[in-house]
Chains A and B, each alone.
Chain A
Amino acid sequence: MADLEAHMDKTDAQSILVIDDSADIHHLIDARLKSEGVPIHHAHDAYSGLQAMREFRPDLVLLDIDMPGRDGLALCREIKDDPTLSSIVIIFLTGNLDVETKVKAFDSGATDYVTKPFDAVELRARVRSGLRTKRYLDMLASQSQIDGLTGLWNRSRFDAVLEEEHALWLRGGRSFALAMLDIDHFKLLNDTYGHPFGDEVLRRVADTIKVGLRQSETAFRYGGEEFGVVFRGLDLDSAVRAAERLRLSIAGLPLAMGSKSVSMTASLGVASVDLPGVSGVNDLVACADKALYDAKRAGRNRVGRSAGR
Chain B
Amino acid sequence: MNRLLSLFADDPDMTELVRGFVARMPARIEEMRAAAADPNGEELLRRLAHQLKGSAGGYGFPTITDAAGKVEDALKRGQREEALTDLDVLLGLCRQASAPAASSDG
A66 to B13, CA, bound (A): 28
A234 to B36, CA, bound (A): 62
Stretch in B53-61, B83-91, B93-101 with 4+ CB within 8 Å of A: B53-61
Instruction: Return the contact of B53 from the options A28, A31, A68, A95 (Cβ within 8 A).
Output: A95
Among residues 14 to 62 in chain A, which have CB atoms less than 8 Å away from a CB atom of chain B? Answer: 21-22, 24-25, 27-28, 31-32, 34
The verdict on B17 contacting chain A, using a C-beta distance below 8 Å, is yes
> When the two chains form their complex, are residues A31 and B13 in contact, meaning their CB atoms are under 8 A apart?
yes
> When the two chains form their complex, are residues A22 and B17 in contact, meaning their CB atoms are under 8 A apart?
no
Q: Which interface class (under 10, 10 to 19, 20 to 34, 35 or more) fits A?
A: 10 to 19
Q: Which interface class (under 10, 10 to 19, 20 to 34, 35 or more) fits B?
A: 10 to 19
> When the two chains form their complex, are residues B17 and A28 in contact, meaning their CB atoms are under 8 A apart?
yes
Summarize B's interface: helix, strand, loop or mixed.
Answer: helix
Known: A24-B21, A27-B20, A68-B47. A117 touches B13 (CB 8 A): no
A116 to B69, CA, bound (A): 11
> When the two chains form their complex, are residues B51 and A22 in contact, meaning their CB atoms are under 8 A apart?
yes
- Residues in B with CB closer than 8 Å to A240 are none
> When the two chains form their complex, are residues B55 and A117 in contact, meaning their CB atoms are under 8 A apart?
yes
> When the two chains form their complex, are residues A117 and B62 in contact, meaning their CB atoms are under 8 A apart?
yes
> When the two chains form their complex, are residues A27 and B17 in contact, meaning their CB atoms are under 8 A apart?
yes
**Residues of B that sit less than 8 Å from A by CB:** 13-14, 17, 20-21, 24, 47, 50-51, 53-59, 62, 65, 69
**Residues of A that sit less than 8 Å from B by CB:** 21-22, 24-25, 27-28, 31-32, 34, 66, 68, 93, 95, 116-118, 120
